[in-house]
């Protein structure tokens, strides 16, 4: 398993990587769907906390494979089989999402994690045998992942009062493993390839938002509850999702990944972007439920279910991608200003539509500043 070149020309996502992403669609859909039902039932605190915990498991498993594959994708038979094992673990994880939300039972998620992480450890050990230059780094990854996985299994048995602090501690440990491992020797991940993989995953989570909203609208229509309020949610939702896509892909960002330190910030920071984008779909579904009288949450809460994740997504994209733009000071702070206005939209009674209009207006002003081709 020889390393891929970090400056390889025309490097692109492989069919196996695309298949890997497709399997994670199931897990993301389960998480977003559970968040939707929790918010609609007015169990806001429990639903949001469970969502962020579950989404970390989904995101981190995807991250681990993506960065490894960028450096060591040999695409031979052994490699494909091990990736299939990881996909099996991802499906087990997805099956455990409803239990985690409804009963706080993370056992099935942990079982799926064991399958995925042990398969990943085998890949790092294989890389260590084939790549003497980065052997120390690969061994550190294998050891760190193994110890963290032991920690996750042990976490299942801690008293409930220690569950949240233990989770936070293990998250910190997980995030530190790559930092520690890369200090021994830098792996040869490909900046352009990583940027493409993150872009593809962004499309997936945005697609989940469209799917969740579509299912909610279909349910309202089938039940004969299609009203003008539902119509404004449809219009606002389209403006939101289209603008979110455009703002993310407004500029090429692979230049940001030129150094290891910026790559860590960029890579880890996408947790907020991915989690927020998937939560937008849950929020749109909650808004439809409220408009049709099928939600226990109030008007302000239904509006906030959309406004908060949209504002979080917007701030995340701005924070991570702002380095690629050279704007005037007033233009540079237009995004935080719009994010603040979006957080106030639940007070209007039409949060979805107003949020969509604000995002579209922000996008229009940014496009107006782009120089026209000569």
Alpha-carbon Rg for the chain in angstroms: 21
Kindly state whether residues 143 and 251 are assigned to the same domain. no
For residue 2, is it within any domain?
Answer: no
For residue 90, is it within any domain?
Answer: yes
Q: How far apart are CA 347 and CA 23, in angstroms?
A: 38
pLDDT, tens digit (0-9, with 9 covering 90-100), for 298-325: 999 999 999 999 999 999 999 887 655 5
Q: Which of 374, 311, 315, 369 is nearest to 345 (CA)?
A: 311
Q: Which residues contact 259 (CB under 8 A, 6 or more apart)?
A: none
Judge whether 273 and 317 are in contact, CB under 8 Å.
Answer: yes
Kindly state whether residues 263 and 358 are assigned to the same domain. yes
Q: How far apart are CA 296 and CA 304, in angstroms?
A: 14
Helices H / strands E in the chain, number of each: 14, 0
For residue 324, is it within any domain?
Answer: yes
CA end-to-end span of the chain: 48
For residue 247, is it within any domain?
Answer: yes
pLDDT, tens digit (0-9, with 9 covering 90-100), for 99-143: 888 888 899 999 999 999 999 999 999 999 999 999 999 999 999
pLDDT, tens digit (0-9, with 9 covering 90-100), for 253-292: 766 777 777 888 888 999 999 999 999 999 999 998 898 8
Structure tokens at 197: 């993989």
The CATH number covering residue 214 comes to 1.20.1410
Kindly state whether residues 162 and 206 are assigned to the same domain. no
Q: Which residues contact 332 (CB under 8 A, 6 or more apart)?
A: 322, 325
Kindly state whether residues 55 and 168 are assigned to the same domain. yes
Q: In the chain, what percentage of residues exceed pLDDT 70? A: 94
Kindly state whether residues 141 and 207 are assigned to the same domain. no
For residue 30, is it within any domain?
Answer: yes
Kindly state whether residues 173 and 221 are assigned to the same domain. no
Structure tokens at 168: 């936070």
The CA dihedral of 327, 328, 329, 334, to the nearest 10 degrees, is: -60
Average pLDDT over residues 218-240: 81
Indicate the pTM of the whole model: 0.91
Q: Name the helix (H) or strand (E) containing 24.
A: helix 15-40
Kindly state whether residues 61 and 19 are assigned to the same domain. yes
Other residues' Cβ atoms within 10 Å of the Cβ of residue 364: 10
Helices (H), 131-227: 135-155, 160-184, 191-222
Judge whether 356 and 243 are in contact, CB under 8 Å.
Answer: yes
Q: In the chain, what percentage of residues exceed pLDDT 90? A: 58
Q: Residue 374 — very low, low, confident or very high, per pLDDT cuts 50/70/90?
A: very low
pLDDT, tens digit (0-9, with 9 covering 90-100), for 16-61: 999 999 888 888 988 998 999 999 998 999 999 999 999 999 999 9
Angle subtended by helix axes 15-40 and 44-72, to nearest 10: 170
For residue 4, is it within any domain?
Answer: no
Kindly state whether residues 47 and 87 are assigned to the same domain. yes
Of 166, 184, 202, which closes a domain? 184
DSSP annotation of 352 reads H
Q: How far apart are CA 289 and CA 302, in angstroms?
A: 9
**Domain membership of residue 100 as a residue range:** 15-184
DSSP annotation of 373 reads P
For residue 10, is it within any domain?
Answer: no
Kindly state whether residues 213 and 344 are assigned to the same domain. yes
Kindly state whether residues 197 and 220 are assigned to the same domain. yes
Q: How far apart are CA 158 and CA 30, in angstroms?
A: 26
Question: What total number of domains does the chain contain?
Answer: 2
State phi, psi for 68 to the nearest 5 degrees: -65, -45
Burial-class residue 103 by CB neighbours within 10 Å (0-12, 13-18, 19+): exposed
Kindly state whether residues 201 and 348 are assigned to the same domain. yes
Q: How far apart are CA 331 and CA 225, in angstroms?
A: 42
Of 184, 217, 251, which closes a domain? 184
| Cα 54 to the center of its chain, rounded Å | 11
Kindly state whether residues 91 and 106 are assigned to the same domain. yes
Angle subtended by helix axes 351-368 and 228-248, to nearest 10: 30
pLDDT, tens digit (0-9, with 9 covering 90-100), for 63-105: 999 999 999 988 889 999 999 999 999 999 989 988 888 888 8
For residue 56, is it within any domain?
Answer: yes
Q: How far apart are CA 97 and CA 109, in angstroms?
A: 7
Q: How far apart are CA 179 and CA 173, in angstroms?
A: 10
Q: How far apart are CA 140 and CA 9, in angstroms?
A: 29
Of 158, 184, 210, which closes a domain? 184
């Amino acid at each position: 398993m020889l390393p891929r070149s970090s400056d390889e020309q025309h490097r692109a996502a492989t069919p196996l990587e695309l298949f890997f992403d497709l399997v994670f669609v199931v897990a993301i859909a389960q998480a977003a769907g559970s968040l939707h039902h929790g918010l609609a039932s007015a169990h806001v605190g429990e639903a949001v906390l469970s969502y962020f915990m579950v989404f970390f498991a989904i995101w981190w498993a995807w991250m681990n494979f993506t960065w490894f594959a960028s450096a060591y994708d040999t695409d031979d038979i052994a490699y494909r089989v091990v990736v299939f094992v990881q996909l099996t673990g991802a499906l087990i994880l997805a099956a455990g999402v409803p239990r985690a939300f409804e009963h706080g039972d993370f056992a099935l998620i942990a079982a799926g994690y064991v399958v995925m992480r042990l398969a990943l450890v085998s890949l790092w050990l294989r890389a260590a045998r084939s790549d003497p230059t980065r052997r120390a780094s690969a061994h550190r990854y294998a050891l760190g992942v193994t110890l963290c996985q032991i920690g996750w299994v042990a976490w299942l048995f801690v008293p409930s009062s220690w569950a949240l602090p233990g989770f936070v501690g293990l998250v910190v440990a997980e995030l530190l493993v790559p930092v520690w491992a890369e200090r021994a020797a830098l792996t040869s991940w490909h900046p352009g390839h990583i940027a493409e993989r993150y872009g593809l995953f962004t499309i997936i989570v945005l697609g989940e938002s469209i799917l969740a909203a579509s299912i909610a609208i279909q349910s309202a229509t089938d039940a004969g509850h299609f009203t003008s309020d539902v119509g404004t949610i449809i219009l606002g939702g389209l403006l939101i999702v289209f603008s979110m896509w455009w703002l993310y892909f407004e500029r090429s960002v692979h230049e940001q990944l030129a150094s290891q330190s910026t790559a860590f910030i960029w890579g880890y920071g996408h947790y907020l972007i991915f989690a927020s984008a998937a939560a937008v779909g849950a929020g749109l579904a909650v808004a439809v439920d409220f408009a049709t009288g099928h939600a226990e949450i109030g008007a302000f809460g239904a509006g906030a279910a959309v406004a908060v994740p949209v504002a979080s997504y917007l701030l995340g994209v701005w924070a991570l991608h702002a380095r690629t733009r050279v704007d005037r000071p007033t233009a540079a702070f237009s995004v935080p200003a719009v994010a603040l206005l979006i957080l106030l939209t639940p007070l209007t009674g039409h949060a979805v539509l107003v949020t969509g209009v604000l995002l579209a207006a922000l996008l229009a002003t940014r496009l107006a500043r782009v120089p026209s081709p000569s």
